[in-house]
Amino acid sequence: MTHVKNELVDLAGWPDLDETQLVSVLPSYAKARALIWSSVTLTSGLAFAVPLAAIEMWGDTHVPGALWLIVGGLWLVSTGWWALEEWRGWPLRGYLVRDRDVVYRRGWWSRTTTAVPFARIQHSEIQQGPLGRWLGYCTLKLYTAGASGANLEIPGLSVATAKNIRQMLEDLNHD
Amino acid sequence: MTDNGVGLATPRRQHIVGLLVLLGWQSQHILRAAWPILIAAYLQQENDAKYFLWALSLGGLATLLGAVLHFWRFTFSVSQGKFHVHKGIFVREKINIPLERVQAVHIEQNLVQRLFGVSGVRVDTAGSSGSELRIHALKWDEAQSLRSLLTADLSERADLPKDQRHGAKTDVIAEAETKNSPQRRAITDLDFRTLLCVGLSQNHLSKVAFAIGGLVTFQGFAWEILTELWTRVPGIWRSILLFLSPLILIVSPVIIAMTSVMISLISSILRHWKLQLWVEGSKAKRTSAVHLTQGMLNRQSMQIPIHKVQYVTWESTWIRRLFSMDTVHIRQAAAGGAVQGNGGGTVEGGSVMRMGIPAMNSKRTRQLELLLFPSWPQRSLITIRPEKYSFWVRWFRRSLALLPVAVGFGWWLGVIWGLVLGAFLWTWSGWLSLKIYRGQWATTDGRHLSTHQGWWFRKRIMIDWHKLQAVEMTQNRIQAHRDVAHLTFHTSSGVAHLRFLSTDLAKDLRDLAMAQVHANRGPWM
């Protein structure tokens, strides 16, 4: 059995991640998220309200008030929570490209900061859907080996920025 | 093209028995995918089953034709530092895999393959898709030669002319594989007594369902036999047996428990029969690999190069700790679709390459630890413990989850009984949370991380920060207020968590881990 001491490893001197330097993603992506929130809120509200209203108006039975309250309350709480998450989470959303890694932070209630070293990126992908093409943003997807959930997606980048990051990755791989 | 000494330089087909194995393999896949349709078709059929039989015959014919064509079109060879595979019936595929991308080559023998003296070879790469190539039948020595060729390190043979490299390496490996080779270091040879201990220390609870299922399935048949026997029993004995019949209620759980233990014993003996674990190869030349052979009906021969090991776990239960035998899982880089699961020596979910080794006592564990992580501990260790807050959170969550039980009990039997049960559950959840809190800790030497978790089921995970894929720090609003955060270290084979660390320590460890990844200049996979 190896005898070990319990001394501290000197952590000073390692480059630390300064989260205040994070760069915000494009404001057009905020519009896209707002659009998605509005359409899902409206659709889900209608999906619950229309059948209940139809039963109330044309059905044989009366919809209990408690059911309206429960369904409406759940809808209000979930969409309200989502709105709060988007509104308060937006200023915290950001990315940082350093010499050797890329960092992305998201979330208001539960904040997650992910750092992926460039040396571990297997391939990358730039994705732009119809909404992205209309509002002028794209998503950069960075894939690592395996499938332990280490892949990183950075949405809300301009196409030029995404291409620059990808070019940087290619240059580093060729060095 | 130069021959590599074992006739694998030119494209060739697998052994003819491969056709039979392929047929069985494809039928198994089809049955697994289409069994609900087949059952539905069988139940829906008219009185005469001609349409069903026709469909079944056509399906069988198509499978046979598919197997023949696949066998005919599948060729492979090893040349110019690449493993070449040509396959495909309608769409012709030419796959060239550089040998340095080959993660592992496993040799397997099921019952049919053993009867014909051939073995199957499975080649895994760490690509995101199509990571697995399977050759269904090769003669045993040919399979060994192919594995030697695919797993030999090309870079170490740079002194040799290019066209001689494969042959030379084959000789080196073949020599090393002989039992008397000085390069071969045995770690475990599982004798029958230890094998029985492995069987006895399994998780028998998981087998209870099988035991009950078996009893339910055969109860009708058993009932018929018992009724038949009952008619032959003399009158006096009938009275005695009827008098003793309440004993069945006591005997039944014993029978189920004994059946579960028997299932565990038999499955352990079948899986780990003649298990041998050894290490061979040169560390300096990066040819050092962990080898495992085991199995009675399905014989397996696996090897994982040591420098490709990404993630190692030690798992134990209370029973296994009694016998002093942990189960170790050694994992290497996984392709897409990695899963967490149980089982040993097999590919789980189609992509995680995992070697499961039972009966690892502390001596063997230390031996394996030194082999897999030679520089551990690189320097003095620091111990990392979660903040006390994690204990309170666990206790609160458990208490909240158990509250409805106490309320329901109080509703049913009265307030006093509800309060008594509530107090008991509250104390019990506190005790359990404390045990779990105390069982959660980690050590690091600045390069490796060894995490410990669990109380009844204990698990230790060990990773090398040089091989990390990503580091993630998570913190919700309450945790931010309490100044704690979670860290997740992603490797290509799984994740290791450090939960409820102080925020500053979490940030320091994240930065240190990232710095270690950047400091690594060597290959990591």
Query: Rounded to a whole number, what is the distance in Å from the CA of A7 to chain B's nearest CA?
Result: 6
B377 touches chain A (CB under 8 A): yes
B490 touches chain A (CB under 8 A): yes
Q: pLDDT for B291-309, tens place per residue?
A: 899 988 888 888 888 888 8
Q: Which of A45-49, B53-57, B210-214, B472-476 has the lowest mean pLDDT?
A: B210-214
Put simply, the answer to whether A150 touches B470 (Cβ < 8 Å) is: yes
Residue A11 forms part of a structural domain: no
Residues A159, A111 within the same domain: yes
Altogether, the residues listed in chain A come to a count of 175
A97 touches chain B (CB under 8 A): no
CA dihedral B451, B456, B457, B462 (to 10 degrees): 10
Mean pLDDT to the nearest integer, B226-230: 83
Residue A5 forms part of a structural domain: no
Q: How is residue B111 written in tokens?
A: 């019952």
ipTM: 0.85
**Sign of the alpha-carbon torsion through B496, B500, B501, B507:** positive
Using a CB-CB cut-off of 8 Å, the residues of chain B touching A9 are 379-380, 382, 444-446, 512
CA distance linking residue B415 with residue B408, whole number of Å: 10
Percent of chain B scoring above 70 in pLDDT: 85
Number of domains in chain A: 2
Using a CB-CB cut-off of 8 Å, the residues of chain B touching A113 are 472-474
Q: pLDDT for B248-270, tens place per residue?
A: 777 878 888 888 888 889 999 99
Put simply, the answer to whether A144 touches B470 (Cβ < 8 Å) is: yes
A88 touches chain B (CB under 8 A): no
CA separation, residue B199 to residues A83, A156, B262, B264, B347 (Å): 54, 55, 8, 5, 21
Query: Rounded to a whole number, what is the distance in Å from the CA of B20 to chain A's nearest CA?
Result: 33
Residue A60 forms part of a structural domain: yes
Using a CB-CB cut-off of 8 Å, the residues of chain B touching A119 are 517-518, 520
Q: Do residues B118 and B18 make contact, with C-beta atoms less than 8 angstroms apart?
A: yes
Contacts of B11 by beta carbon, 8 Å cutoff, 6+ apart: B75, B76, B77, B84, B86
Residues A78, A142 within the same domain: no
Using a CB-CB cut-off of 8 Å, the residues of chain A touching B470 are 114-117, 120, 144, 150, 152
**What pLDDT does B518 receive?**
86
Put simply, the answer to whether A145 touches B444 (Cβ < 8 Å) is: no
**What pLDDT does B49 receive?**
62
Considering only CB atoms, A149 lies closest to which of B126, B495, B514, namely B495
* A164 vs B112 pLDDT, higher one: A164
Residue A151 forms part of a structural domain: yes
> Of chain B residues 386-405, which have a CB less than 8 A from chain A?
none
Residues A83, A105 within the same domain: no
Whether the predicted pLDDT of B160 surpasses 90: no
**What pLDDT does B334 receive?**
61
**What pLDDT does A174 receive?**
65
Confidence of residue A78 (pLDDT cuts 50, 70, 90): very high
Residues A125, A102 within the same domain: yes
Query: Rounded to a whole number, what is the distance in Å from the CA of B475 to chain A's nearest CA?
Result: 5
A144 touches chain B (CB under 8 A): yes
Query: Rounded to a whole number, what is the distance in Å from the CA of B157 to chain A's nearest CA?
Result: 25
Whether the predicted pLDDT of B203 surpasses 80: no
Q: Label each residue of chain A as H, E or C.
A: CCCCCCCCCCCCCCCCCCHHHCEECCHHHHHHHHHHHHHHHHHHHHHHHHHHHHHHHHCCCCCCHHHHHHHHHHHHHHHHHHHHHHHHHHHHCEEEECCCEEEEEECCCEEEEEEEEHHHEEEEEEECCHHHHHHCCEEEEEEECCCCCCCEEEEEECHHHHHHHHHHHHHHHHC
Domain boundaries, chain B: 17-102+116-148, 197-272, 389-438
Whether the predicted pLDDT of B523 surpasses 60: yes
Considering only CB atoms, A109 lies closest to which of B380, B469, B477, namely B477
Cβ atoms < 10 Å from Cβ of B268: 21
**Residue type for position B291:** H
Q: Which own/partner pairs from B365-369 qualify as long-range (CB within 8 Å, at least 24 positions apart)?
A: B365/B314, B365/B326, B365/B328, B366/A1, B366/A2, B367/B187, B368/B187, B368/B290, B368/B312, B368/B328, B369/B462
* B127 vs B448 pLDDT, higher one: B448
How big is the A-B interface in CB pairs under 8 Å? 130
Using a CB-CB cut-off of 8 Å, the residues of chain B touching A109 are 476-477
What is residue B141's three-state secondary structure? helix
Considering only CB atoms, B494 lies closest to which of A11, A143, A148, namely A148
Using a CB-CB cut-off of 8 Å, the residues of chain A touching B511 are 11, 14-17
Tell me the CATH number at A163: 2.30.29.30
Put simply, the answer to whether A7 touches B334 (Cβ < 8 Å) is: no
Cα angle vertex B154, ends B151, B159, to 5°? Answer: 145
Considering only CB atoms, A148 lies closest to which of B128, B491, B508, namely B491
Considering only CB atoms, B469 lies closest to which of A2, A11, A148, namely A148
Place of tokens 């014909």: B116
Residues A85, A96 within the same domain: no
Cβ atoms < 10 Å from Cβ of A32: 20
CA distance linking residue B249 with residue B255, whole number of Å: 10
Query: Rounded to a whole number, what is the distance in Å from the CA of B133 to chain A's nearest CA?
Result: 17
A141 touches chain B (CB under 8 A): no
Contacts of B170 by beta carbon, 8 Å cutoff, 6+ apart: B4, B5, B6, B145, B148, B149, B152
| Phi/psi of residue A149, nearest 5 degrees | 85, 20
Put simply, the answer to whether A112 touches B474 (Cβ < 8 Å) is: yes
Residues A101, A167 within the same domain: yes
Residues A141, A124 within the same domain: yes
Residues A102, A147 within the same domain: yes
Put simply, the answer to whether A115 touches B469 (Cβ < 8 Å) is: no
CA atoms within 13 A on the CB side of B1: 14
Of the residues A89, A107, A126, the one at which a domain ends: A89
Residues A96, A170 within the same domain: yes
Place of tokens 């038999």: B266
Residue A4 forms part of a structural domain: no
Confidence of residue B337 (pLDDT cuts 50, 70, 90): very low
Cβ atoms < 10 Å from Cβ of B514: 25
Whether the predicted pLDDT of B515 surpasses 50: yes
Put simply, the answer to whether A115 touches B514 (Cβ < 8 Å) is: yes
CA distance linking residue B492 with residue B337, whole number of Å: 11
Q: How far apart are the first and last CA of chain A?
A: 43
Closest B-chain CA to A149: B490
Residue A135 forms part of a structural domain: yes
Residues A84, A96 within the same domain: no
CA distance linking residue B274 with residue B377, whole number of Å: 33
> Of chain A residues 34-73, which have a CB less than 8 A from chain B?
none
Q: Which of A111, A96, A147 is nearest to B490 (CA)?
A: A147
Cβ atoms < 10 Å from Cβ of A68: 15
CA distance linking residue A48 with residue B320, whole number of Å: 53
Work out the mean pLDDT of chain B and round it to a whole number: 81
Put simply, the answer to whether B476 touches A110 (Cβ < 8 Å) is: yes
Q: How is residue B520 written in tokens?
A: 């690594």
Place of tokens 């009708």: B220
Residue A69 structural domain:
27-89
Q: Which of B189, B221, B227, B20 is nearest to B112 (CA)?
A: B20
Residue A152 forms part of a structural domain: yes
B474 touches chain A (CB under 8 A): yes
* A22 vs B52 pLDDT, higher one: A22
Considering only CB atoms, B492 lies closest to which of A108, A110, A148, namely A148
**Residue type for position B303:** Q
Confidence of residue B329 (pLDDT cuts 50, 70, 90): very high
